[in-house]
Amino acid sequence: MSIVVPEWRRAYDEVRRYSMALAEPLSAEDQGVQSMPDASPTKWHLAHTTWFFETIVLKPYLPGYRPFDERYAYLFNSYYEALGPRHARPQRGLLTRPSLEEVHAYRRHVDESMSTLMTRADPATRDAIEPLITLGLHHEQQHQELIVTDIVHALSCNPLMPAYRPEPSDGEAAPRLRSTRPGPIEWLDRAGGVVGIGHDGRGFAFDNEGPRHDYLLRPYSIAHRLVTCGDYAAFIADGGYARPELWLSDGWAAVQREGWTAPIYWVPGGEKSDQKSGGCGNWRVFGLSGLKMLDPDAPVSNLSFYEAAAYAEWTGARLPTEFEWEAAFDTPGIEQMTGHVWQWTRSAYEPYPGFRPLAGVAAEYNGKFMVGQQVLRGGSIATPPGHTRPTYRNFFPPAARWQFTGVRLVRDN
């Protein structure tokens, strides 16, 4: 999303409205639930993103701004140490108050104040707040993705397995996600050599995407499409979850400790496999629209890094580094690079050479998570339109399974 001065209001309104639209299919009860410490209630996301604008824009820049409720600073801060103490993360699901209605009122209060500020700001203020608002909108978009992944996880914990929202009526969601060439992987050659990596500074990017720098690559080939559910079902059928030699040590420990035997949202069916399952056993897969028969051509999703790496090992290929992924973004013939699943890379999440965090409160935004996590590239069905970029670096711990995360393979040339 490119936000230039005359588009402020439109961008702000669109992003803020989109959050509300995502929550729309959910009851107040649904919006309050937290199914694990890593996830948050929808209501909390709606309030936290609002708190962000209040804290970094309204309080410093709108003269006479009156906070909606001073106590919200405590309730809706997430991890910003510089912004004071916080409600404990695993207890977000206990906040039945403020009610959803009050959070809606909070959003309106802040939106109106933002509108006032954006209307009245003199040029100097405008220069000061424009990057903060831009950051706030991208921040809210990140939480939009979490709204979806977190509620899907919560609903998956309910034995009734309710759907977040009905399947699009035209039945086109799945086809749209499939590769146009779902057959055997085509290996697209990449020559290697010095490539430019990272964002060049034109338009918005997060601090962790820069500085742009040269990186030396060896020749490799990259798969033209993502790994599918059918591909992954074959790995399971071949005993993938019972063969320690395929797994990283920490991954195998997770398999044993957690009793993993399939991706988190795969549910074995009770009846005999039918025609439609295409040799994939009788798996059903839980997702945005509830529990559906596995689609062998759809990208496999909700894998941990450990599962992604074990799968790659099983194929004899490997996961790409984030540099290989980025350099291959525009490779002719490549498909599904964004909008399907985030793609695990072999790269740990580290600072680029010369990396300096943003100044001020945003300093805590990305840099402090640069250990113990793996980089993901691309973007998923839950990523808001316009949010991601080829240089975008998403990151999660290697055991995380509740994001829409999948695999693209590479191999050495």
Interacting residues toward its own copies by CB under 8 A: 27-33, 35, 71, 74-75, 79, 81-82, 87, 91, 93-100, 154-155, 157-160, 162, 194, 213-216, 218, 244-245, 247-252, 305-306, 309, 346-348, 350-351, 353-354, 363-364, 368-372, 374, 398, 412
In the complex, least distance from residue 93 CB atom to its own copies, rounded to whole angstroms: 7
In the complex, least distance from residue 360 CB atom to its own copies, rounded to whole angstroms: 11
Q: Which residue pairs, CB below 8 angstroms and at least 24 apart, start in 258-266? A: 260/307, 261/236, 262/236, 263/232, 263/300, 263/301, 263/302, 263/303, 263/307, 263/401, 264/156, 264/302, 264/401, 264/402, 265/152, 265/156, 265/301, 265/302, 266/294
Give the nearer residue to its own copies in terms of CB position, either 365 or 404.
Answer: 365
CB atoms within 10 A of CB 85: 9
Give the nearer residue to its own copies in terms of CB position, either 8 or 402.
Answer: 402
Give the nearer residue to its own copies in terms of CB position, either 85 or 171.
Answer: 85
In the complex, least distance from residue 246 CB atom to its own copies, rounded to whole angstroms: 10
Residue in 272, 301, 274 with CA at minimum distance from that of residue 285: 301
In the complex, least distance from residue 91 CB atom to its own copies, rounded to whole angstroms: 6
In the complex, least distance from residue 158 CB atom to its own copies, rounded to whole angstroms: 6
Give the nearer residue to its own copies in terms of CB position, either 75 or 128.
Answer: 75
Rounded to a whole number of angstroms, the CA Rg of the chain reads 22
User: What is the spatial distance between Cα 322 and Cα 328, in angstroms, rounded to a whole number?
Assistant: 10
Give the nearer residue to its own copies in terms of CB position, either 93 or 378.
Answer: 93
Q: How many CA atoms lie within 13 A of 244 on its CB side?
A: 6
In the complex, least distance from residue 204 CB atom to its own copies, rounded to whole angstroms: 23
Give the nearer residue to its own copies in terms of CB position, either 340 or 346.
Answer: 346
Report the b/e string of 231-268 with b at 16+ CB within 10 A: bbbbbbeeebbeeeebbeeebbebbeeeebebbbbbee
